[in-house]
Amino acid sequence: MKLTKQMAVLRSVLFVLLAAAHFGCKTQPPSQPLTPVTGSGTVHIYTDADNAVVKVDNQQVFTPADSVLSLPSGRHTIIIIAPGYSYQSQTVLVQADSSYSLTFLFSTVKTVLLEDFANVDCKPCVNSNAIIEDLLKNVYPRTKVIAVKYPSKVPSPKDPMYLAAKNIVENRLNFYDPTMGCPSLFVDGYQISIATDSGEINTQIRNQLPLPPAFKLGVTGQVNGNNFDILVTIKCINPTGVNFSRLKMYMPLIQKVVTYPSAPGSNGEKEFYNVTRAMFGDENGIGISPMKAGARVSATFSVPISADWDKTKLAAIVYLQSQDRSFNKDGMIWNPVFQAASSD
């Protein structure tokens, strides 16, 4: 009799526990139904590599790189495989009705251009010249920073290097500011407020170097008898943001070192670097027709070599510059240089 009562009690306890487990742990349904992620976005792929292919989430896309992909919303891994290079990958989180741009660079780096306006009677130019030469020799390789000196007419219009390249220099002064004094320095078309401030110059160079270049630019040059011949090649990597109707190519021929037996001016300098001697093509620049991503154009140019130039020290500089101008908060000029290259 006692055993029967005990078993009844146990059954009651077990029933209570089972009921608590069933009703107490029941998950409440969400107040709103879950909506699956839908839609797609657009991913633009840009690269400097030739014959590259795209893989999305490890699935090969048999289209050229420089392509536009429509991908469903979500996280995707984009891989670019280019002959002769290790593959590169980037991850993008695609949201519906959104557009994204990915750039893959295999052999192209941003090359920053320094444009130096100086004069043989300008005493502060001694300091600015020394700063530029130190940057080029000891800080940055020529693949990253190159320079062009435009000998100016201020304070002395008798500067022999200015007189030898007067039309070229006047065109560049008129482009920027015909009243500009010396020294004046532009980093990728951005005017430095104090041309003798190495800190400001370095800062602007470092600001420009990480920017992905819109173009791959190449130039080769050689002395051919009494001429200097060049071959220029432009490949468009990413035309986004490039106003081709306002884009020009400039191609100065420089002499890397010009030495005088005695100082030609009152600042005492005898040695000058990256001095402009001539300009290939139009001195006001050559227009560039609109280019699509991946498009490539090439052209040859030639200029005669003057008898007083040192043929062994000549090099061609090529750069692509916007004619659209803006100003910073201090009123400094900015005409962006998209890319630059040197033949040596």
**Pairing between β-strand 337-342 and β-strand 314-322 as defined by DSSP bridges:** antiparallel
Task: Specify the CATH number for the domain of residue 235.
Answer: 2.60.40.10
Are both 118 and 241 inside the same structural domain?
yes
Residues 261 and 175 occupy one common structural domain: yes
pLDDT beneath 50, residues of the chain: 1-10, 13-27, 30-31, 33-35
Tell me: the pLDDT tens digits for 106-148? 999 999 999 999 999 999 999 999 999 999 999 999 999 999 9
Q: List the domain range (segments joined by +) for residue 183.
A: 112-342
Residue at a domain's end among 85, 104, 123: 104
pLDDT for 67 equals: 83
**What pLDDT is stored for residue 278 in this prediction?**
98
pLDDT 10s digits, 92-103: 999 999 999 999
The total number of structural domains in the chain stands at 2
DSSP notation for 52-115: -EEEETTEEEEEESS-EEEEESEEEEEEEE-TTS--EEEEEEE-TT-EEEEEE-SS----EEEE
Closest CA to 80 of 99, 102, 98, 101: 102
Closest by CA to 275, choosing from 301, 314, 318, is 314
Q: Which pLDDT score, from 0 to 100, does residue 13 have?
A: 42
Same domain, residue pair 162 and 181: yes
The answer on 150 and 173 residing in a single domain is yes
Q: Which of 50, 76, 104 is the last residue of a domain?
A: 104
- Please tell me the pTM assigned to this model: 0.87
Strands 112-118 vs 184-187: parallel, antiparallel or unpaired:
antiparallel
Q: How much is the pLDDT for 38?
A: 73
Positive or negative torsion for Cα 77, 80, 67, 319: positive
Q: Are residues 177 and 325 in the same domain?
A: yes
Within a domain: 322: yes
Residues 6+ apart with CB under 8 A from 100: 41, 42, 43, 44, 92, 94
Shared domain check, 208 and 321: yes
Spatial contact of 173 and 166, defined as CB atoms under 8 Å apart: no
Cα of first residue to Cα of last residue in the chain, in angstroms, is 110
**Residue 244 to residue 237: CA distance in whole angstroms:** 14
Give the pLDDT score at 18: 44
- Residues 6 or more apart from 73 whose CB is under 8 A from it? 37, 38, 39, 40, 41, 94, 95, 96
Assigned domain for 2 exists: no
- Return the percentage of the chain with pLDDT > 70, whole number: 89
The verdict on whether omega for the bond into residue 183 sits within 30 degrees of 0, i.e. cis, is: yes
pLDDT at 127: 98
